[in-house]
Amino acid sequence: MTDKIRIKDIALRAGVSVGTVDRVLHNRPNVSKPAKEKVELALKEMNYQPNVYASALAYNKSYTFYIIMPEHDSEAYWEEIEEGTLKAMETMRDFNIDVKILYYERFNDNSFITVSQSCIDSNPDGVVIVPSTLEITRQFTDIMHERQIPFVMLDSYMPDLKPLSFYGQDSFVSGYFAARMLMLIASNEKEIVLMKRIMNGNVTSKQQANREVGFRHYMHDHFPEVNIIDLDMPIDGSRKKYDHILEEFFNSHPHIHHCITLSSKAHIVGEFLLRTNRRDIQIMGYDVVAKNAECLRQGSISFLIAQHAYQQGFCCIDTLFKAIVLKKVVNPVNYMPIELLSKENIDFYRRTQL
């Protein structure tokens, strides 16, 4: 019934002209306050819902959304993000949506600054940002606010920057959950290993740092007697270097049976364990990249936590579309589901499910 309501029906109900109704519906000027109130009352009484999709199609404007993300290899978590954004563009092609991807070198502030400036110079309609450090990202987002360009944050949430929306896991809860799942199989251990990807003495992302807070919070509350040994792995290490570090570590800690990493690189340890035939040690990690999935199937990885990266990419573009094209109100914070995968259910995981 709502779809059959015509402008002239609304005008008749409100006792105003068709032109007045049209101006109110499209938020145009030159409408008196009494006339506007009459139209709004009529709309409410008639339960009128505008067809925003039809209006957007009729307007026939084109939109360009940018996504700024780290450079990555072909098996990375970020590849799924890309696939999701491009699928969203394909789904919305009737609305003339174009998505362009810009890459910055991770852990390189100058690279992020250069890429973000290129994005600004292109005058985008909306932007998806995988942030760098808070202060470097703020330099970019301050300009976005000044120019009234909406932006969505992905992966790491920085509420101080006031994004339109955020997509990613609740990092603290995710780390807490990871600890709980690990201790289902490691509850009798006296020591466990936390493998960290390190650059200049620090973990390589805010998200991983927050996961570690959640992880240690659970361990402190429920297994305070278990010693957590940090195993630092340099971000720029070769396989030979990693193998040397791992060989030395496990030889000097023969009683260790369980490892965890809060990054997507569990396969660094998983592949080492398979090559050296160490069947009494397992690692737990994040993300369904191909190398992780294979280690999970072969038993060197015990569990993986999936982040639904494809869905994150799709939803970021969809949120910009809804907010900018359809003028809809969107949710400011969108936490992704935390899904636990083992070798028994890895083949049923659907990366592209929405």
- Three-state DSSP at 125 gives coil
How does residue 1 score in pLDDT terms, banded at 50, 70 and 90? very low
How many C-beta atoms surround the C-beta of residue 204 within 10 A?
17
Encoded amino acid at 107, one letter: F
Encoded amino acid at 300, one letter: S
Residues 23-78 pLDDT 10s: 887 777 888 999 898 888 988 888 877 666 666 555 678 899 999 999 987 666 78
* β-bridge partners, 153: 129, 166
> Contact at 8 Å (CB) between 14 and 21?
yes
Domains delineated in the chain: 5-49 (1.10.260.40), 57-168+307-335 (3.40.50.2300), 169-304 (3.40.50.2300)
Distance CA 79, CA 91 (A): 18
Q: Where are the alpha helices (DSSP H) in 187-289?
A: 206-222, 239-252, 266-275
Distance CA 197, CA 189 (A): 23
Which among 39-43, 103-107, 268-272 has the top mean pLDDT? 268-272
pTM: 0.80
How does residue 353 score in pLDDT terms, banded at 50, 70 and 90? low
How does residue 296 score in pLDDT terms, banded at 50, 70 and 90? very high
Task: State the average pLDDT for the chain.
Answer: 90
Examine the pLDDT at 95 and tell me if it is beyond 50: yes
Examine the pLDDT at 301 and tell me if it is beyond 80: yes
Distance CA 138, CA 120 (A): 14
